[in-house]
Structure 1
Amino acid sequence: MSLAFVDWHSVFVPEIGVPEIVVRGTIMYLAMFAILRFIARRQTGNFGPADLLVIVLIADAAQNGLGKDYSSVTEGIGLVLTIVAWEYALDWLAWRFPALRPWLSVPPLKIIEDGRAIQSALDREMLSEAELLGQLREHQIERVSDVKVARLEGDGRLSVIKKSGA
């Protein structure tokens, strides 16, 4: 195969008909919209590692129903529903059975206490002092010494309690 050769026919002519592409795309979009709108309610804007995993898996599963591998739309929707159901089940288990929470979610990590950064925690998370200060500035805090306690939450957000008077 020559690098200069381009099969223009395969570039522009779909393997499945255009109406089928439109129907598959419409059904998958509406199904994904309904699933994510009504089933997967979570805090918007706070994505942790598990949320990212679910998004990637849903994208891959939805692709199956869009026609590339000639899977049916029903198979694609079934895969997406399975992934969302597992995410919901794990969230429900963590909520219902507190003893499972350490296994099912990442606990917060204290990184500042009484105005001092906990270096071992910063090292463990590979968080530099500059990055820590950047996150503190997002909370309108200029110095580590102004913080009573700060924790790196399981979803990557930094929660901060200022010292009184700071």
Structure 2
Amino acid sequence: MDLSVFHLTVPLWEIILRGSVVYWFLFLIFRSILRRSMGSVGVSDFLFVVIIADASQNAMSGDSKSISDGLVLIAVLVFWNMLIDWLSFKYKWVRRMVEAPPLVLIKNGVLQLREMRKEFVTKDEIMAKLREEGIGQVSEVKQMQIEMDGEISVVRYEEN
């Protein structure tokens, strides 16, 4: 059995640096761009799955330098993901940095056009969501917002 597949072919520091840079670059991109389409999956969870899949593929394919290269890279990614989750659980200021704040689309029956432009949400999309909620007009809505997880919530005015 050839044990050379277990020897690192790239310096350890380079694997850690590459994994960290790619993780943070993609995290920032996903955090700022993909909120609306993320649904209930967190940004860091989505990012983690995508990168782990790629890193695992590189470690398993015959074209990779070694299994150890891939395993070290996966360990770096697991470290960053767990650290971010732990820090956001423990510290509110980290949670505010990691999670996108809610974005108000309708406030007191008025469309918030500036906020809609930020997320490329059209009036037609808002009206479709309101119809799903059994609401016929924007004026019936006290507040509609995109939550931290990407879901859209609607609060009607209280009926007196």
TM range (shorter): 0.5 to 0.7
Aligned match for 2:96, one of 84, 99, 102: 102
Structure 1 residues 48 and 129: alpha-carbon distance in aligned structure 2, compared to 1, 3 A threshold:
farther
CA RMSD of superposed structures (Å): 2.4
Hey, what does 2:10 align to over in structure 1?
Answer: none
Aligned match for 2:138, one of 134, 140, 144: 144
Instruction: List structure 1 segments (4+ residues) > 6 angstroms apart after TM superposition.
Output: none
- Paired with 2:141 and 2:44, the residues of 1 have a C-alpha distance of 29
Q: How does 1:5-84 map to 2 (within 5 A)?
A: 46-84=40-78
Structure 1 residues 65 and 121: alpha-carbon distance in aligned structure 2, compared to 1, 3 A threshold:
same
Matched letter for residue 122 of structure 1: M
- Paired with 1:140 and 1:51, the residues of 2 have a C-alpha distance of 32
The alignment covers a number of residue pairs equal to: 122
Give the C-alpha shift of residue 77 in structure 1.
Answer: 4.0
Give the C-alpha shift of residue 67 in structure 1.
Answer: 1.9
Deviation sequence 1:64-114 (CA, Å, 0-9, x none): 222232444454344334323312211221221112222222111111111
- Paired with 1:49 and 1:133, the residues of 2 have a C-alpha distance of 27
- Bigger Rg over Cα: 1
Give the C-alpha shift of residue 63 in structure 1.
Answer: 0.5
Matched letter for residue 133 of structure 1: M
TM-score (norm 2): 0.63
Hey, what does 1:89 align to over in structure 2?
Answer: 83
- Paired with 1:108 and 1:58, the residues of 2 have a C-alpha distance of 28
Which of 1 and 2 has higher RCO (CA within 8 Å, sep 6+)? 2
Matched letter for residue 105 of structure 1: E
Identity value in percent:
34
- Paired with 2:132 and 2:60, the residues of 1 have a C-alpha distance of 41
Structure 1 residues 141 and 51: alpha-carbon distance in aligned structure 2, compared to 1, 3 A threshold:
farther
Secondary structure in structure 2 of the residue aligned to 1:165: coil
- Paired with 1:86 and 1:113, the residues of 2 have a C-alpha distance of 37
Hey, what does 2:147 align to over in structure 1?
Answer: 153
**Segment of structure 1 superposing worse, 76-85 or 96-105:** 76-85
Give the C-alpha shift of residue 156 in structure 1.
Answer: 1.9
